[in-house]
Amino acid sequence: MPAFIQMGSEKHFSSLHTTLCATGGGAYKFEQDFRTMGDLELCKLDELDCLVKGVLYIDSVGFNGRSECYYFENPTDAERCQKLPFNLENPYPLLLVNIGSGVSILAVYSKDNYKRVTGTSLGGGTFFGLCCLLTGCSTFEEALEMASHGDSTKVDKLVRDIYGGDYERFGLPGWAVASSFGNMMSKEKRDSVSKEDLARATLITITNNIGSIARMCALNENINRVVFVGNFLRINTISMRLLAYALDYWSKGQLKALFLEHE
């Protein structure tokens, strides 16, 4: 960011424009720097306003004539799961889940009518931060790459690890994660997992949790379409598929997870 301001200063952006439209948390943080170093006034736009408008705009323009919005059909069936376009002509109401370093969840009722429902601090930053600490990786891409090669079931304790199979009393399938990182309580198991496994478990933990909070919000707000956007999902097919799967499975098909090509 300082480099960008520096560039703006060198290229004399200010002679062309005196104001720059900006959004995001950094717009506030770097406003002073823009003014003093770049001689630019920032026209700070509300981050969420921008987000909502952006989502709706992108979809209205479309993606090479195709719908910008898509979903996964048969997300609970690995064989038959496929990405299909979704027509967002009547988008409202929708739940917008923006996964950046943290997560914001908005309920959007019309072009101008939306509210922030809740948020969680367990977001992309948590995945990346924990991966750095656990694996020593240094980029988000690296963390995702490791995750794609790992096996989270070595790290997590599954329902079947505790009950030997499904927990029928509560209708819990044996493959469900009972305790994220639960196997890591034991020293032997800590010594036997790879960095890839840990990265994968971190990704699964964060993603499942976002899915679970989004699902609860959708139920509370009585909305059945959930659009997931944000940096975290960039090149992150594992999370998108998992979100689609988790939402479908736990809502018994009542909720649909949607994604955007150009989020």
Residues that bind other proteins (CB under 8 A): 25-26, 28-29, 31, 46-48, 100-102, 104, 116, 118, 120-126, 128-130, 132-134, 136-138, 155-157, 162, 169-172, 176-185, 187, 190, 198, 205, 208-209, 212-213, 216-217, 219-220
CB of 230 to other proteins, least distance (A): 12
CB of 222 to other proteins, least distance (A): 10
CB of 45 to other proteins, least distance (A): 10
Taking 3-state DSSP, the helix, strand and coil percentages for the chain, each rounded to the nearest 5, stand at: 50, 20, 30
Angle between helix axes 195-221 and 140-149 (nearest 10 degrees) is: 100
Tell me whether residue 88 or residue 131 sits nearer to other proteins (CB atom).
131
Tell me whether residue 148 or residue 209 sits nearer to other proteins (CB atom).
209
Is 47 among the residues known to form the active site?
yes
Residue 175 is given by DSSP the state T
**Active-site option among 31, 41, 47, 221:** 47
The C-alpha atoms of residue 123 and residue 46 are separated, in whole angstroms, by 21
Tell me whether residue 184 or residue 226 sits nearer to other proteins (CB atom).
184
CB of 1 to other proteins, least distance (A): 13
CB of 191 to other proteins, least distance (A): 11
93: preceding bond cis by omega (within 30 degrees): yes
Tell me whether residue 48 or residue 56 sits nearer to other proteins (CB atom).
48
Contacts 24+ apart (CB under 8 A), 106-115: 106/48, 106/51, 106/52, 107/217, 107/221, 107/223, 108/52, 111/52, 111/53, 111/56, 114/48, 114/52
* Closest of 177, 159, 180 to residue 168, by C-alpha: 159
The C-alpha atoms of residue 205 and residue 207 are separated, in whole angstroms, by 6
Tell me whether residue 12 or residue 29 sits nearer to other proteins (CB atom).
29
* Closest of 3, 256, 246, 234 to residue 100, by C-alpha: 234
Catalytic residue set: 47
